[in-house]
Structure 1
Amino acid sequence: MTRPLDPMMPPRAPLDLAPQRFDRAGAQDHALPRGRRRDLAWRIGAFGPAVAITLSLIVGLVRWFDAGGFTWGEGLATLLIGFTFIWVSLSVTGVVLAVIRLWLGRRREARGRGPAQRIALVVPIYNETPSDVMGNVAAMRRELECGPRRDTYAFFILSDTQSPEIAAEEWRAVQHLRGEADRRIDVHYRRRNANTDRKVGNINGWIAEYGAAWDAMIVLDADSLMTGAGIRRLADALARDPDAGLIQSFPVLISAETLFGRMQQFATSVYGWLAAEGLSLWSQKEGNYWGHNAIIRIRAFAQSAQLPHLTGRRGQSELILSHDFVEAGMLRRAGWAVRFLPQAGGSFEETPASLVDYVLRDRRWCRGNLQHLRLLAARGFHPITRFHLLQGAFAYLLSPAWFALLVLWSAFLPMSAGETSYFSPANPFYPVWPSVSRIDGVWFLAFIYTMLLLPKIVAAALLAASPGVIRLYGGIGRFALTTLFEIALAVLYAPILMVQQSIAVLAACLGRPVRWDGQARSGHHYAWGTLLRFHAAEVLLGLGMIAGMMTGALSLWLAPVALSLALAPALSRLSSLRVSGLRWRPLRLDTPLSLREPRVQVRARAERARLRAALDAPASPPMAAE
């Protein structure tokens, strides 16, 4: 080992990262045991019914359309419905599998724990609020120090911050943490002068310089928060599974105060856990990585997961922006298991507070996820890895597909033949509403909406059937009203998100640059002028749809979509409204974690306030970047 670069880092322990390629797999570093028949059954149970349901829907649509002659528009509509509905079906079957798993019960882990591990908790940051980041680190450190520790831990703050003012505050905040008495877990800090390759380069650079001294790393985002028990459970899971290269926890959203943030927080609390359980069942050892709140075996990562660059449109080198899915696939390609641990608990993160902040983050994620389409033919990837990559891309491609289907259905597939008339001469004061040409159409639309809402309905029903759990939400009446309110909000904001994601896909396809700034985490109102410019496309589209319905060119069943789009600026403004203090409780969208905050969250808030006060003191010169 050589001398450290500065007093805030330990001695260097270099670890080579093996270069990787997508056109050549190379030899496997590790050999996994053969899969069990039970694992294959779960996978067939997820994909088989999803395919069967989608094919049944397509056959029914073909028969319905064929009754009056099958046109090109109807054929395209059928293709788009099948294209989009397979993903809806898979989410439904995943929820059903999770329910079956809960009914059958979970087997206890039979394998013994391995030897003690040295685990680095790495926190890559970029232009974040120093007191918030270091406050979270301080809270997690206290959590770990309060409980039993079989393993050795240390925190590494890996800064890519480019603002000298923020960097100075980072340095002072870390000094405060390092200067505290009676602390048994070290906190280290390093800042790069140039943020080459962003987060990927930041973590890989740390592995190359210090990785040999550590067995595993838990990757945390700037807003990540984990309890001591949650960290120990991840470490224990890795120690019990020598085949695991990566184990991903299921982060639950916390700390939301605004309408949009609380809507996401409630949805994750009520529905997300069941979807995560289903995902874990069918992915098995070919799981995924979400970029944070996961534990990774460092030597396995160094030997197999250094990301090569892609070749851009003009032949330039192009960084893979959404690196996490690909790194998981490369670990699995090298023979390491990638697993989910959906019910470990104690894993938290924050969410964008407003619709605008959510969309801005989505644009970055969209660009990265669409890059995955270029990796579907990479050599050596497991079929489930390729499916994860495809699913990540389709999370955004579904929006333009739904939008195209909406336009096609409303413009080229009128719900009644001939000119639409809502009043007859015999009774001019009583409107006659248009109807679907055959009753089958009503049932198909009802079926689609039912399938879209079924995962939420099933998850909410499971919680409602558990009196002990439902009391944590404030009782059955409050839970039911809050659930209905969240579903209504989701329906209201869905058309806006559909248009914004379609814009993001178009921008990615055109190669337009996307800004990758620090995430805005605190809720604030955007000016009306900003909102009108940001949502101009939705407003114009919504007003056009309303005009089309007034002239009879479009069907009235599009009215909810048109109104949401036309009112997008107002709904966007409403999304940043602070609802946590409202008097009528269902409007607060409370969850057990907002009604009874976790101890680590309370600690983090206190530590943030303490550090914020300390940083208001006169500053000393910052440590130079590397």
Structure 2
Amino acid sequence: MALATFEGSQTALRRLAMVLCATSLTVAASFMFATVVQADGFDWLDVVRITLMAIAAFWLAWGGCIAFFGILFPDESHPRSGPVPEGRTAVLLPIYNEATGPVFARLAAIMRSVGQLKAADQFDFFVLSDTTRLEVAEKERQAYEALLAQEGAGGRLFYRRREKNIGRKAGNIADFVTTSGGAYEYMLVLDADSLMEGETILEMVRRMEADPRLGLLQSLPRIIGLDTLFGRLLQFATSLYGPYFARGLAAVQGGEGSFWGHNALIRTRAFAASCGMAPLQGEPPFGGHILSHDTIEAALLARDGWTVRLDPDLTGSYEEAPANMVDYAKRDRRWCQGNLQHGRVLVAPRFRFWSRLAILQGIFAYLASPIWFLFLIASLAAPLAAPAPVYFDGHSPFPVFPHPETATALALLFGLVALLILPKLLLAIRALADGSTAEFGGPLRLLVSFLLETVLTSMLAPLHMMFTCRSVVQVLTGADSGWPAAERDDGSLSFATSLSATWWIVVTGVAGILFSNYFVPELFYWLLPVAVPMALAPVLIWSTASVSLGKATARIGLFAVPADQKPVAVAAEMHNVLNAAATEPAPALVSEAIA
């Protein structure tokens, strides 16, 4: 009890420090911006701009503080050895209209990794299908029976398909809990693109058995398996910066942490008792079943006194991600609807303060882009709405000119850029200082990769802003994203596809350039870093979706990640399974043998 009280006080102090740090930076940025805009008079549009700036600056400052805390606070120490777990664990693989071969190859690799453990007989595997396409469902059944025969996994591997996928993924998991969950102390929830090492899974079970109040343990999945330039940028950024951001997040969220929906271990009885979610009243997009269920499930567990914890030191947890920006935006569209839907449950009774803050952060992750866009629009409109300068105020025979605030404006600009880049720079310097550069190709390649990643992601940022703005508008106007299956091909795009997906961004960027040039020329050069990438959107999308460019960077050691230097065993096994399936005749199916 004393230890829990100490840890709670420590977490509270960290949270207070985080809020004070982010608030101080926001106040400073807002004051500087107010100084700039009042130079030629002050009107209602300036109030709007200052308000938008303050909100957006707080979001940037918050992210920067999380990264800084990740450097400041080390990983919590957890012993890496322990007895063989006594409780049984169900490994759950929910799928929905997925490419069958890769999904079952990943599952086979995980099963073989777990099979090497002394505690292998404590784990069972469940494929929970919500597939609606009958031809895909048939392929799933065949793949399941083939895997069952290959692994000799009778009594350990199960397949179930729901005829009606009520509640989507959350409903899929809930169906398992109500029908089979009582047989298992723990359940490990995966995604269709998840990969996990057996030792990591075992370690997570050990940690949960060591803490009877631990309701959910979230690992930090590393992104692997992407070959496009966009994918390699994403892998590099998440490998270099992700652990520190996760460490900072873990330091301030304490036992009221996040659930990211996959690669997490859950205490089954805690989930069953706490995480029932009724559909929200009304129609989608704000009503109906909760789409982004994971954040709410974490809040429900914390509300009932269960610890929800993120352990960034858990290695051996992996996932894939969209390999191009178009697919990334499609996934974000679904997440956007789910997170904005959380506004309906933000004031739910008995939620912990940090759980509410996590929900609010998720909402604001998507509102930040429209806020920045509205700020740009207001800044372009402000000079047109400003009153003409008064050179003679009646108190002096000499003209009084507006005081230029160029220096303050530049200082503010550099300050905002620093909030974006400085955390990443500090993390790169930390990698250089602690000797981990070998994992990223060495000091020189790490430095060059950092610079290129910063430039390229800065160019892609306006496009991400526009895609997110469109998603928010669609949700607010009542468009339902549905439940599309994820795209998991190599990620390459034709130029025609890139143009079709971004022509409206091009129009917006060109319009902004022309408008500023003719009506507010004093803002022309300030707008170019945002408008030029928008005008070049198809080229940027198409080129970053190139597999050949991505592989070219790999050949010269740019955007290298630890998985490039030391291949991931479970990923290598997955590829072995895929290669074997492509070259060897399929074994007789169980159903055929019985027939």
The answer, yes or no, to whether TM exceeds 0.5 is yes
1:523–1:576 Cα contact (<8 Å) kept: no
Structure 1 gaps of 5+ residues are: 1-31, 420-434
In the alignment, the residues of structure 1 paired with residue 488 and residue 513 of structure 2 have an alpha-carbon distance, to the nearest angstrom, of: 35
In the alignment, the residues of structure 1 paired with residue 592 and residue 510 of structure 2 have an alpha-carbon distance, to the nearest angstrom, of: 54
1:439 pairs with 403, 407, 413, which one?
407
Q: Does 1:570 align with 2:539?
A: yes
In the alignment, the residues of structure 1 paired with residue 79 and residue 562 of structure 2 have an alpha-carbon distance, to the nearest angstrom, of: 28
2:125–2:157 Cα contact (<8 Å) kept: yes
Correspondences of 1:367-378 after superposition (within 5 Å) = 367-378=337-348
Q: Does 1:201 align with 2:201?
A: no
Correspondences of 1:209-358 after superposition (within 5 Å) = 209-312=179-282, 318-358=288-328
Q: Does 1:453 align with 2:459?
A: no
**Greater displacement, 272-281 / 602-611:** 602-611
In the alignment, the residues of structure 2 paired with residue 256 and residue 473 of structure 1 have an alpha-carbon distance, to the nearest angstrom, of: 16
Cα displacement string for residues 32-61 of structure 1 (whole angstroms, at most 9, x for unaligned residues): 954532222222222221112212222333
The 3 A distance-change label for structure 1 pair 110 and 519 is: closer
In the alignment, the residues of structure 2 paired with residue 68 and residue 551 of structure 1 have an alpha-carbon distance, to the nearest angstrom, of: 20
2:553–2:559 Cα contact (<8 Å) kept: no
Structure 2 letter corresponding to 1:511: G
Structure 2 letter corresponding to 1:230: T
Show the counterpart of 1:466: 434
Structure 1 letter corresponding to 2:545: S
In the alignment, the residues of structure 1 paired with residue 329 and residue 404 of structure 2 have an alpha-carbon distance, to the nearest angstrom, of: 35
The 3 A distance-change label for structure 1 pair 596 and 532 is: same
In the alignment, the residues of structure 1 paired with residue 77 and residue 139 of structure 2 have an alpha-carbon distance, to the nearest angstrom, of: 48
2:36–2:405 Cα contact (<8 Å) kept: no
Q: Does 1:499 align with 2:469?
A: no
Show the counterpart of 2:23: 51
**Greater displacement, 54-63 / 568-577:** 54-63
Correspondences of 1:130-145 after superposition (within 5 Å) = 130-145=100-115
2:446–2:558 Cα contact (<8 Å) kept: no
Shift of 1:392: 0.5
Any idea what SS the aligned residue of 1:188 has?
A: strand
Structure 2 letter corresponding to 1:513: D
In the alignment, the residues of structure 2 paired with residue 547 and residue 37 of structure 1 have an alpha-carbon distance, to the nearest angstrom, of: 55
Structure 2 letter corresponding to 1:456: K
Q: Does 1:82 align with 2:54?
A: yes
2:285–2:478 Cα contact (<8 Å) kept: no
1:220–1:293 Cα contact (<8 Å) kept: yes
The 3 A distance-change label for structure 1 pair 200 and 527 is: same
In the alignment, the residues of structure 2 paired with residue 616 and residue 151 of structure 1 have an alpha-carbon distance, to the nearest angstrom, of: 27
The 3 A distance-change label for structure 1 pair 36 and 355 is: closer
The 3 A distance-change label for structure 1 pair 382 and 534 is: same
In the alignment, the residues of structure 1 paired with residue 554 and residue 279 of structure 2 have an alpha-carbon distance, to the nearest angstrom, of: 52
1:561 pairs with 530, 544, 547, which one?
530
Shift of 1:382: 0.4
In the alignment, the residues of structure 2 paired with residue 586 and residue 444 of structure 1 have an alpha-carbon distance, to the nearest angstrom, of: 37
Cα displacement string for residues 436-488 of structure 1 (whole angstroms, at most 9, x for unaligned residues): 74311110111110011122111111101123x10121111111111111111
Show the counterpart of 1:519: 486
Show the counterpart of 2:393: none
Cα displacement string for residues 296-347 of structure 1 (whole angstroms, at most 9, x for unaligned residues): 0111111110111111259996111100000110111111111101111111
Shift of 1:528: 3.8
1:113–1:239 Cα contact (<8 Å) kept: no
In the alignment, the residues of structure 2 paired with residue 455 and residue 49 of structure 1 have an alpha-carbon distance, to the nearest angstrom, of: 14
Show the counterpart of 1:546: 513
In the alignment, the residues of structure 1 paired with residue 254 and residue 275 of structure 2 have an alpha-carbon distance, to the nearest angstrom, of: 20
In the alignment, the residues of structure 2 paired with residue 219 and residue 392 of structure 1 have an alpha-carbon distance, to the nearest angstrom, of: 21
1:119–1:151 Cα contact (<8 Å) kept: no
Cα displacement string for residues 409-435 of structure 1 (whole angstroms, at most 9, x for unaligned residues): 233258x9999xxxxxxxxxxxxxxx9
Query: Share of identical aligned residues, percent?
Result: 33
Show the counterpart of 1:69: 41
CA RMSD across the alignment? 2.8
Show the counterpart of 1:405: 375
Correspondences of 1:7-18 after superposition (within 5 Å) = none
Structure 2 letter corresponding to 1:38: Q
Structure 2 gaps of 5+ residues are: 390-402
The 3 A distance-change label for structure 1 pair 108 and 364 is: closer
1:125 pairs with 78, 88, 95, which one?
95
1:131–1:612 Cα contact (<8 Å) kept: no
Any idea what SS the aligned residue of 1:242 has?
A: coil
Q: Which structure features the higher share of helix residues?
A: 2
1:196–1:202 Cα contact (<8 Å) kept: yes
Any idea what SS the aligned residue of 1:123 has?
A: strand
In the alignment, the residues of structure 2 paired with residue 259 and residue 382 of structure 1 have an alpha-carbon distance, to the nearest angstrom, of: 41
The 3 A distance-change label for structure 1 pair 310 and 602 is: same
In the alignment, the residues of structure 1 paired with residue 223 and residue 81 of structure 2 have an alpha-carbon distance, to the nearest angstrom, of: 31
In the alignment, the residues of structure 2 paired with residue 622 and residue 57 of structure 1 have an alpha-carbon distance, to the nearest angstrom, of: 70
1:45–1:93 Cα contact (<8 Å) kept: no
